[in-house]
Structure 1
Amino acid sequence: MSNKVIEHLIHAFQAPLTNPVLIFSVVLLIILLSPILLRPIRVPGIIGLILAGVVIGPHGLNWLEKNSAVTLFSTIGLLYIMFIAGLELDMNEFKKSRHKSVVFGFFTFIIPILIGFPVCYYILGYEVLPSVLIASMFATHTLVSYPIVNRYGISKHEAVAITIGGTILTDTAVLIILALITGASHGEINQEFWVTLGVSFAIFLFIMFGIIPRIAKWFFQRLDAEKTGHYIFVLTVVFFAAFLAEMAGLEPIIGAFVAGLSLNKLIPHSSALMNRIEFIGNAIFIPFFLISVGMIVDISVLTKGPSALIVAGTLTIVSVFGKFIAATITQYIFKYSSNQRNLIFGLSNAHAAATLAVIMVGYNNNIIDENVLNGTILLILITCIIASMVTENASKKIVLEGHQDDKHIERVEESEEQIMIPLANLKNMEPILDFATLIKSKKSPYPLSIVSVVPDDEQAEINVQDAKRNLENMAKYASGAETEVELLTTIDFNIPAGIARMSKKVMADCIIMGWPSATSIVEKIVGEKSESILNNTDSTLFMLRLNKPLISHRSIVVFVPPLAESEVGFEYWLEKTFKLAQELSLPISFVCEPRTEDSISLIYKKLKSSVKVKFETYEDWDNIYGLATFNSPDALLVFVSSRQGEVSYRDSLDGLAKRVGKYYKSQNLILLFPARQANEHIDEYETIQTSPFMRKISRGLGNIFNKEK
């Protein structure tokens, strides 16, 4: 009996896998583990999943091969990518700057093609059709680095608006060219082809923009309670549009893209339906597609001779150069600054979803070879990294010029303030509660929310009772200071996720928690609790290490990094710092750059605070240990940091809690993370956050594109 079981297991796990349940399990496991394992080295999700596909595919460990199930899911993923691309385009921004968008769209479309076609045809030696397809692939771009400009508060900037508009135009034009190339690959392009394509394309557009939006509007209004039905209806529209496009002689991805455009106005970006569409796509369908792309890639081709490497290098150079020239011409026509030019270039340089879609259609129709496919994967990686670097550098300089959007700095009304304290180590809770009482607005009628998150396990019920007892002890302590508290207990599989969920529930403006404890090896791999809380919340967050009474201090020293004044939560944390100093009757010494000093002075005057303030200049912010020269043994030290990827973030702030905790062992410390704008609807498989190592390289690389005239 046992031998049969062993034989059955050996057969089931024999490569390539044939059991559909096991195949699905393996793919889901990869989707789960890939972001976790690659997070420490900041490999972008889109590359990580493709690499996973390379490893498990026929050219790697040969665990999976392209069968009907994998093909079906990857096809759905490809259509899903194009649908979301059409759905997320901001039509209002496009309309505002449509004339300039048309100009930029024309140049960012035609220049890469004019450069790319001769290179592919004459230098790389490809035929006409492959050369046109590859050249059109150069023209596409994906707004991978858009989340960066959003965080810097310059998403309404004209340079950003025309780049978004150009994206709509160039991607649409490339998809039309793709339809022509596909048609040409199946037969001759004659008069009948053009007439058939023109008539069928017109009928297709009439159905998609004349009929579908009316049906969708009626459906959403009549069946308002059927939330599941809404999602199924949207999926039906996507696949029906893909089928119609195919019947019209176009590629199915064009149908999916047009479906996104036709439903664009009917599905708000912040709606529950949009959330469902993105969640399911990002969780299953899109990762399936990316893994299937990796399964096609044959890395051994790169080792068979220099031709594959030459193709990959040429594709990357031509792509980057073409987009840079387009951005430069746009700069001269509209008399933009070099920083605006770099912003346009950074946003339009990244190749991801649309590029992958175009190249996969070409590969499946035998128009391009393996060299181009493998070269495109390398192109995606390199252009995503360059786009991230250049956009971040340009965004910082535009912020320094004072071009942030209005109302970027958050103003929390004192009468509406909500403060939340996650319950952790009971020994540290009393000083944390005292601190919260000191900085809390007296005008706010809301109590302090003390939250306890209990792990969802066998001991959950017992732990809930223990948590309630601990909360009651805190309530008794708070009542001694006549501080009103609200006690909240919740059960969650993940404690940081539970804290993040409760912060949204109570609409917390501020979260106050204890100092991060030592972490285990597992936590270092999958992410530390404090880091997870930071990533999953947008509120101002204070981390406190208060081993001495607050009244033992003689001053407060606040270390403020460059560009902190451009963060959303700048004014809020500054008010809280002044309030703390006033309650303790302590002077404040701000260590910062002159620009930050001016912003602090403005708010200081606006608040009419009586706190004694002085400023000291420090400019070498890449050397955090140099701040020790401003320290005094009886000072309360406040380090202003930033969430990874925000405006004032720099790699010297990595692991700041651990470093200052070890260096200032005998002093009270406060680590402060300003509030940020909520990052909604960012496709995690298209975003890239460069690692500290890559960011250091970017200082040198970025200068190529960031030299002032």
Structure 2
Amino acid sequence: MNRNVLDHLSHAFEAPLKSPVLIFALVLFIILLSPILLRSIKVPGIIGLIISGVVIGPHGLNWLEKNSAVDLFSTIGLLYIMFIAGLELDMNEFKKTKHKSLWFGFFTFIIPIAIGFPVCFYLLDYGILASILISSMFATHTLVSYPIVNSYGISKNEAVAITIGGTILTDTAVLIILAVITGASQGNIGQEFWVTLGVSFAIFLFIMFGVIPRIAKWFFERIESEKTSHYIFILSIVFFAAFLSEIAGLEPIIGAFVAGLALNKLIPHSSALMNRIEFIGNAIFIPFFLISVGMIVDVSVLLRGPEALIVAATLTVVAILGKWGAAWMTQLVFKYSSGQRNVIFGLSSSHAAATLAVIMVGYKNEIIDENVLNGTILLILVTCIVATIVTEGASKKIVMDGDQDESHINIVKEHDEHILIPLANMENMKPLLDFATLMRSKKSHYPISIVSVVKDNEQAEKNMAIARKNLDNIVKYASGSETEVSIATTIDYNIPSGISRSAKEVMADCILLGWPSASNFVDKIVGEKSESILNRTSANVMMCQFKKPFITHNKIIVFAPPLAQSEFGFEYWVEKVLKLGQELTISVTFVCDKRTEEATKIFLEEIKNSVPVNYKIYDDWDHMQGLKSFREDNAFLFYVSSRYGEVSYRDSLDGLAKKLERIHQNENVVLVFPSRVDNQHIDEYEDVQAAPIFRKISKEIGNMFNKDK
């Protein structure tokens, strides 16, 4: 019996492993342990995964062999890396730096080829086709170290943006060269070849940028609440795009990257969907790919005589030298810092996916020999190690220099930003929380505070229990996007008093409120809840009406009255509007007078804004009806108002919420009340929950006579 058990165990653990369950368990243990074990000797986790692949692969302990399951997961991981790179690309920054991306793409394509071709043709004595193929391989790069940049929070740095932009240019150019060389080696180059390649590529781009975004937008609008469906839909698009690019005669990685670009605008970086995409990719698929890269490496090639060693060493040196030259030239032309140059070099020096594609095709078509194949495998290991070490060091340097994401918008105290959302209506809470997640500073140490204020009456105990249950549901929802929230319930004699007290306790910079509901006659005369909150607090207040998904918008329109730039909270709300534009990848239009335009332009210049901004002049702010002419379909509307008595306040802003509710019944509208300096206003009426009563009475009498208008 014992012998049977031992035989069964020895068979189960026989190398290479056959049990899918055991294989998956082994890979998961490697994904879990290799970064932890190597962190103590300061080796980046990515290298740990690649080295683990070398150790357990066919050329190491042979615990794992390249089979269909491993190939499938590694392919998904590779496509994931390219897809996330396209998705993470700040399109506003890319548009701003597209000329720099073109130049970097040119440098990182031409310099490695210019160095590589003479070396291959004259020094290594390969033929013209083989030399072109090998030197074009030097021009490719795979964003293996991109997760490092992402984890350090510098993925939107200009140096990263131009490197990602250059990746698609150089890899596409190389893969087209590969198609041409393959055709030339088979004698298929002719007019038909060029026409087929051009037409198929054009059709591919039309489907990806003309059709897919429309389908995705329709899908997200119709199936808004099904979060699992959103993720499966995205995954389907990625693989469909990879398949389409294959049909078009390109590599699947190009399709995955283009899918990321096509869906970029529809998946905000701070959304729950983006969190799911990154989490699953970084947890399973991308590590699988890195392990599979290590499994290809055959260290024994170094022992096969001097020729293999010379070829491997030459290819590796030329590959690193070519990419360093491209990074150095880019730094020279655009005057980047040494940290930015090293990030460019680190991201672009790792050879894996496209390099393998080029060499494997060349080997199968007998354009190159085994020495080049083995040398390339070693090149992949060395360049991935160099790339990860350089990227890690450069990312740290950029962070230490204070050039992290969002550092260009640093007027507001980002580390201390605190947002408060009073819980009133559960239906409004989810879009309010999504809005807060999109616009808040990612550097803030504080969670988003959600408070539920319960009136101190005979129902208080029962209402507290209901409030706690609602808050628990909100915490579950927030966890979907890994948004940290703190919840609290409090009892007070009235709602505005409880909210203002909570805002002071947490030192809130911004209070997000749902749109004020219709009030009764007593509220109108004594003071509405929303106006009472404004009177009791000095923080920025945003009243929000959300009727549509945020991804349906194609621009933000901001209506700012004269002297809005003189308000204490001007910089804060402008920064939040730009942050939203950045997240949704849409432009911002300011409707204001000339002085506000000039002040806004100066502020945007100071913070080095990358969001496209336009201005439209409007001077007749005593007649708000004229603003209707600036309305556009699918625009996200921001109206800037002011508290009574503040510098930009005017009578036409009185009762603005009710006017907007009539005009914009089915649109997303935010009414902004900028913060004011503490203790610079009169609060005699706070304890009776009122704005000045006589002003309220006169306003209501005026409304009675103006109803027909």
Q: Distance in 1 between matches of 2:231 and 2:419?
A: 40
- Structure 1 portions without partners, runs of 5+: 418-440, 447-485, 491-500, 509-709
When the two structures are superposed, what TM-score results if normalisation uses the length of structure 1?
0.54
1: CA distance, partners of 2:382 / 2:163: 24
1:360 aligns with 2:363: no
Deviation digits for residues 509-564 of structure 1, max 9, x if unmatched? xxxxxxxxxxxxxxxxxxxxxxxxxxxxxxxxxxxxxxxxxxxxxxxxxxxxxxxx
State how far apart, in whole Å, the 2-side matches of 1:283 and 1:205 are: 31
**1:249 is paired with a residue of what secondary structure?**
coil
1:280-291 equivalences in 2 (<5 Å): 280-291=280-291
Q: Which among 349, 366, 381 is matched to residue 377 of structure 1?
A: 381
**CA apart distance, 1:132:** 3.3
Look up the equivalent residue of 2:192 and give its one-letter code. E
Q: In the alignment, which residue of structure 2 is the partner of 1:302?
A: 302
Distance 1:236 1:399 in 2: 36
Name the amino acid aligned to 2:355: I
- Please tell me whether Structure 1 or Structure 2 has the larger radius of gyration of its CA atoms: 2
Question: CA shift at 1:304, angstroms?
Answer: 2.5
The reply to whether residue 18 of structure 1 matches residue 18 of structure 2 is: yes
CA deviation vs aligned residue, 1:49-96 (integer Å, no higher than 9, x gap) = 121111111111111212222222222222222222222222110111
Task: Assess if the C-alpha contact under 8 Å between 2:239 and 2:256 holds in 1.
Answer: yes
**Aligned in 2, Cα 1:130/1:256: closer, same or farther, shift over 3 Å?**
farther
Residue 93 to residue 106, structure 1, CA distance change in 2 (3 Å)? same
**Residue type of the alignment partner of 1:506:** S
Distance 1:261 1:360 in 2: 24
Query: 8 Å contact 2:144–2:384 — kept in the other structure?
Result: no
Residue identity (%): 65
- Is 1:505 matched up with 2:485? yes
* Structure 1 residues 507 and 177: CA distance shift in structure 2, 3 A: farther
Q: Which residue of 2 aligns with 1:189?
A: 189
Secondary structure at 1:350 match in 2: helix
Between the aligned partners of 2:412 and 2:143, the Cα distance in structure 1 is: 21
Letter in 2 for 1:207: I
Cα distance, 1:229 vs. partner? 0.9
For 1:97-128, what per-residue CA distance to the aligned partner results, in whole angstroms no more than 9, with x for missing partners? 22233223322321122112222332233444
Give the distance between the partners of 1:182 and 1:332, measured in 2 at CA.
36
CA distance, structure 1, for counterparts of residue 409 and residue 151 of structure 2? 11
CA–CA separation in structure 1 for the residues paired with 2:2 and 2:234: 49
CA distance in 2, matches of 1:152, 1:28: 24
RMSD: 4.1
Contact 2:324 2:349 in 1 (8 A): no
Change (3 A) 1:284 1:343: same
Q: Take 1:155 and 1:24, find their aligned partners in 2: how far apart are those partners?
A: 31
What is the rounded CA distance, in whole Å, between the counterparts of 2:450 and 2:292 in structure 1?
55
The 8 Å contact of residues 343 and 395 in structure 1, kept in 2 or not, is answered as: no
State the match for 1:275 in structure 2: 275
Match of 1:350 among 346, 367, 370: 346
Counterpart AA for 2:278: E
Letter in 2 for 1:410: E
The one of the two structures with greater contact order (alpha-carbon pairs below 8 A, sep at least 6) is 1
CA, structure 1 residues 414+50, in 2 after alignment: closer, same or farther (shift >3 Å)?
closer
Partner AA of 1:7 in structure 2: D
Flag the 1:390–1:320 CA change in 2: closer, same or farther, 3 A: farther
Choose from 403, 406, 411 the match for 2:410. Answer: 406
1:44 partnered with 2:44 = yes
Q: Name the aligned partner's letter for residue 374 of structure 2.
A: E
Count of residues in Structure 1 that have an aligned counterpart in Structure 2: 431
Separation of aligned partners in 1, 2:348 and 2:156: 23
Maintained 8 Å contact 1:15/1:64: yes
Determine the structure 2 residue equivalent to 1:56. 56
Query: Deviation at 1:357?
Result: 0.8
Offset at 1:384? 3.0
Match of 1:80 in 2: 80
CA distance in structure 1 between the partners assigned to 2:84 and 2:419 by the alignment: 40
**Preserved CA contact (<8 Å) 1:315 1:376:** no
2:61 and 2:150 mapped to 1: Cα distance?
A: 40
* Partners of 1:77 and 1:286 within 8 A in 2: yes
- Normalised TM-score (structure 2): 0.54
Q: 1:185: how far off? A: 5.8
Asked if 1 retains the 8 angstrom alpha-carbon contact of 2:141 and 2:354, the reply is no
Change (3 A) 1:169 1:91: farther
Match of 2:96 in 1: 96
Asked whether the equivalents of residues 59 and 299 of structure 1 are also in contact (C-alpha less than 8 Å), the reply is yes
Cα shift readout 1:248-277 (whole Å, capped 9, x = no counterpart): 222222222222221111111111111111
Amino acid across the alignment from 1:378 = V
Q: CA deviation at 1:208?
A: 1.2
Name the amino acid aligned to 1:505. V
SS in 1 for 2:269: coil
Match of 2:501 in 1: none
Corresponding residue for residue 209 of structure 2: 209
Aligned partner letter, 1:322? G
Residue 208 of structure 1 aligns to a residue in which SS? Answer: helix
Indicate how the Cα distance of structure 1 residues 372 and 67 shifts in structure 2: closer, same or farther if over 3 A, else same.
same
**1:609-620 map, 5 Å:** none
Distance 2:347 2:332 in 1: 24
Structure 1 residues 273 and 353: CA distance shift in structure 2, 3 A: farther
> What is the CA distance between 1:314 and its match in structure 2?
2.9
Conserved? CA contact 1:82–1:353, under 8 Å: no
Give 1:698's aligned residue.
none
Q: What CA distance in whole angstroms lies between the structure 1 residues aligned with 2:266 and 2:482?
A: 30
Aligned partners of 2:157 and 2:72: how far apart in 1? 41
CA distance in 1, matches of 2:295, 2:271: 35
Cα drift, residue 341 of structure 1 = 5.1
Q: How far apart in 2 are the matches of 1:45 and 1:58? A: 22
2:390 paired residue among 386, 401, 406: 386
Cα distance in 2 between the residues matched to 1:16 and 1:42: 31
- Taking the aligned partners of 2:224 and 2:417, their CA distance within structure 1 comes to 35
Matches within 5 A, 1:99-114: 99-114=99-114
Q: Is the 8 A contact 2:47 2:385 kept in 1?
A: yes
Question: Could you tell me how far 1:409 is from its partner in structure 2?
Answer: 5.6
Secondary structure of 1:279 counterpart:
helix
In structure 2, distance between residues paired with 1:269 and 1:282: 15
The match for 1:9 is 9
Please list, as runs of the form range in 1=range in 2, the aligned pairs for 1:120-199 lying within 5 A after superposition: 120-141=120-141, 162-181=162-181, 183-184=183-184, 188-199=188-199
**Cα distance, 1:308–1:48 mapped onto 2, change above 3 Å:** farther
SS of residue paired to 1:60: coil
What secondary structure is seen at the aligned counterpart in 2 of 1:355? Answer: coil
Over residues 600-649 of structure 1, what are the superposed CA-to-partner deviations in whole Å (9 max), with x where a residue is unaligned?
Answer: xxxxxxxxxxxxxxxxxxxxxxxxxxxxxxxxxxxxxxxxxxxxxxxxxx
Tell me which residue corresponds to 1:34. 34
